[in-house]
Structure 1
């Protein structure tokens, strides 16, 4: 069975034993800490948006709601004279606007456990305040695909690598196709820290009790750090931004089956 079929079955609730608790950003980082993986420094936690004390935080920090997926609600903030700048979405905000947005987000998920964490702001090896996302599609220590997102205010750039961190050159889109209206696909060399990133992703993958998990990481000035777990990635799932074609989907489906057998 191919990857796309398996991930959509998981998304529909047809797979048993999925460790969904790892979606929670606090539980995810605690899991990685327990196995000795690198995580950003934790500065504060809150159980209500009204409790967020921005004036008690450093001049730069990252605010994350633990109950939302991907980057929804995440703010990469820097204090300015008249408020804050959110580097993730390139906008200026007041303290009141920050709290109001987080409150609105929590109201959209009334049944969720609402918590927020504040982490140190990390920068990439080039000093950029929003490091590139490296998303490792992992199968019990095997890497099926690496997806790098380079954030750009005009159009995000996406690069793809195989399980050995070799760039995927696919000019005819036989493996992956992107929506060029919103994404620019590029070919990038693997980063200087590629070996460390690969080893960390594999180590984390083996520890997770699931045949598949996407391990999201960042490459920073002080080395790779863990970002979050994604058990049902939207990438390729909805096909509105990226499409995975059959050769890659079947290859990753094979890795999924191998990982299942390994866990038995």
Structure 2
């Protein structure tokens, strides 16, 4: 039986709150579309087979797009790395990947590294390790403890893999929880850039901008308002790469990037952000307008 912690109680409260919100209130038009997409993508009989079909950067686009709703493959973070590489985007260096934690040699890793699962959301099972301390929860973890957590996760979901990647530095060359640059894109068009100054898996502040870095009202009520952020040094490259990936992805998707001392680095795709919850009425209208204009008739 798992121990009850303050964090687990908060997570349970948040889930129950959003479930209650969904049952007690009419869904907005954007949330309706996101929920429809989620049901279509993941209630299908072939959902996990498609998501976990390995594809590489050297494969032709035809192989990536050989099934209906092929974008499901990109919800596997190993595949999304390969897709970004195929399009010339930077990704973190990969130190190790697999389903056998016993084969992971922690002594061969640098002092700082990141562990993340190929399937998941909301920073679950993510370790941002800085000399033995996970910056996501500020706790120390021995290699044996981490290995045990990975093995238990794999026992519960055999489709998982884990990626051990480079710990990215920020623009100043510092190691910290990186800021997320989340691009809400529609077939090559950027509706909003959400910047999250993350303090932990579910804590932080955010602010939002258009592609010209004019600040716009926050699109979500999930995080408190952050101070106005200066544009990242590599904003032009970030926009180029987000638009390129969006055109290839085709339908609406949120693309997550980091601004580092090496320039922009791709993180992951999110096709159903937050299941459409917590978006403001203004954001709902903005995103539906973009959907109708740039992705008409698309899921």
Do both proteins adopt the same fold according to a TM-score greater than 0.5, normalized to the shorter chain? yes
Is 147-156 or 21-30 further displaced after alignment? 147-156
Mapped to 1, the partners of 2:219 and 2:269 lie a distance apart of 22
C-alpha displacement of 1:52? 2.2
Q: Which residue of 2 aligns with 1:229?
A: 269
* Counterpart among 200, 204, 207 of residue 245 in structure 2: 204
C-alpha displacement of 1:160? 1.3
C-alpha displacement of 1:177? 5.1
TM-score (norm. length: structure 1): 0.83
Secondary structure at the residue paired with 1:58?
Answer: coil
Determine whether 1:194 maps to 2:235. yes
C-alpha displacement of 1:109? 2.6
Q: Is the 8 A contact 1:122 1:130 kept in 2?
A: no
Mapped to 2, the partners of 1:152 and 1:103 lie a distance apart of 27
Is 213-222 or 47-56 further displaced after alignment? 47-56
Determine whether 1:95 maps to 2:95. no
TM-score (norm. length: structure 2): 0.74
Q: Which residue of 1 aligns with 2:279?
A: 244
Deviation per residue, 1:194-231 (Å, 9 max, x gap): 222111111111111x3111100001011110001111
* Counterpart among 31, 41, 59 of residue 4 in structure 1: 31
Q: Is the 8 A contact 1:2 1:251 kept in 2?
A: no
* Counterpart among 144, 151, 156 of residue 108 in structure 1: 156
User: Hey, which bits of structure 1, 4+ residues long, moved more than 6 A?
Assistant: none
Q: Structure 1 residues 250, 14: CA separation in 2 closer, same or farther (over 3 Å shift)? A: farther
Mapped to 1, the partners of 2:297 and 2:241 lie a distance apart of 19
* Counterpart among 217, 225, 228 of residue 185 in structure 1: 225
Mapped to 1, the partners of 2:234 and 2:206 lie a distance apart of 18
Gaps of 5+ in 2: 1-27, 43-67
Mapped to 2, the partners of 1:176 and 1:76 lie a distance apart of 27
C-alpha displacement of 1:253? 1.0
Q: Structure 1 residues 58, 177: CA separation in 2 closer, same or farther (over 3 Å shift)? A: closer
Q: Which residue of 2 aligns with 1:144?
A: 191
Mapped to 1, the partners of 2:41 and 2:257 lie a distance apart of 28
- Paired residue total: 244
Q: Which residue of 2 aligns with 1:220?
A: 260
Q: Is the 8 A contact 1:85 1:93 kept in 2?
A: yes
